[in-house]
């Protein structure tokens, strides 16, 4: 283990904050997550697409969400989703509770969602649509590059998610060519910045197997 890995491990141990792939046991935090996202949108004065309780619940049950917890306290969250027959993947909804900002937690959550997406769909292009400078910086570190909206998925279901954003009128006026957010795209490479536990990988395989049986 090198010095950088030692430093990361030490920081995580000292913080006492766990970053894990969410499951049904974490559904009790959904209302807090939605409230934190809403409050962040008001403070920033920029758009954050709205998500329903049922939507986040489905992400947790499908092993498509990552949650950060300080004991029983909610600290952060993000989720992933696939588009165009799994050719594209988004890591979305990254949020850190105000009490836990400035500790590098967003980077840990981003690393976990990115790794989760790469392991589950290794050949998919991963993209991000964000107006946050911090998220752009993290994306750049992971290998994302700024792209035009034409380079992102054209799946209408994805773009429908923008309808809850306060800036959706700009998206409509420009015929979906640009908006307040910046599009960023990652083309698959062999780099995984976080480790997914073996038991989570087994759970993912069970989920995928059940879907194929239907």
Inside any domain, residue 45: yes
Inside any domain, residue 15: yes
Inside any domain, residue 16: yes
Q: Mean pLDDT in the chain? A: 87
158 in Cβ contact with 83 (< 8 Å): yes
This prediction's pTM:
0.79
Q: What is the side-by-side order of every strand in the sheet holding 88-96?
A: 17-21, 65-70, 73-83, 88-96, 125-130, 182-186, 145-147
Domains in the chain, number = 1
Domain that holds residue 194: 3-204
Inside any domain, residue 212: no
How far is residue 127 CA from its own chain's centroid? 10
Q: Percent of the chain having pLDDT more than 90? A: 64
Inside any domain, residue 211: no
Model pLDDT for residues 20-68, shown as the tens digit of each residue: 999 999 999 999 999 998 888 777 655 566 789 999 999 999 999 999 9
Q: Over 60: is that where the pLDDT of 201 sits?
A: yes
Q: How far apart are CA 208 and CA 133, in angstroms?
A: 35
Inside any domain, residue 214: no
CATH number at residue 109: 3.40.630.30
Supply the DSSP string of 96-124, one letter for each residue: E-GGGTTSSHHHHHHHHHHHHHHHHSTTS
Q: How many residues does the chain have?
A: 214
* pLDDT at residue 10 in the model: 42
Closest-CA residue to 66 (of 14, 9, 105): 105
* pLDDT at residue 173 in the model: 95
Model pLDDT for residues 105-122, shown as the tens digit of each residue: 999 999 999 999 999 999
Of the pLDDT bands very low, low, confident and very high (cuts 50, 70, 90), residue 72 is: very high
Residue 214 or residue 153, greater confidence: 153
Inside any domain, residue 73: yes
Inside any domain, residue 31: yes
Mean per-residue pLDDT, 118-130: 92
């Amino acid at each position: 283990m090198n010095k950088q890995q030692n430093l990361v491990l030490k920081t995580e141990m000292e913080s006492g904050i766990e970053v894990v792939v969410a499951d049904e046991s974490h559904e009790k935090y959904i209302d807090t997550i939605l409230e934190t996202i809403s409050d962040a949108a008001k403070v920033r004065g920029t758009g954050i697409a709205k998500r329903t309780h049922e939507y986040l619940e489905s992400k947790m049950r499908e092993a498509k969400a990552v949650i950060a917890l300080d004991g029983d306290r909610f600290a952060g969250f993000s989720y992933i989703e696939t588009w165009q027959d799994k050719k594209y993947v988004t890591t979305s909804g990254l949020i850190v509770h105000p009490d836990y900002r400035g500790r590098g937690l967003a980077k840990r959550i981003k690393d976990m969602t990115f790794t989760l997406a790469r392991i589950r769909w290794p050949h998919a292009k991963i993209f991000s649509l964000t107006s946050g400078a911090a998220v752009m910086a993290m994306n750049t570190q992971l290998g994302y590059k700024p792209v035009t909206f034409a380079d992102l998925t054209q799946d209408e279901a994805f773009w429908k998610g923008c309808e809850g954003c306060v800036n959706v009128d700009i998206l409509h006026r420009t015929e979906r060519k640009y908006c307040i957010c910046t599009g960023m795209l990652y083309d698959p490479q062999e780099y995984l910045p976080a480790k997914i536990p073996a038991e989570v990988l087994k759970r993912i395989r069970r989920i995928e197997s059940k879907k194929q049986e239907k």
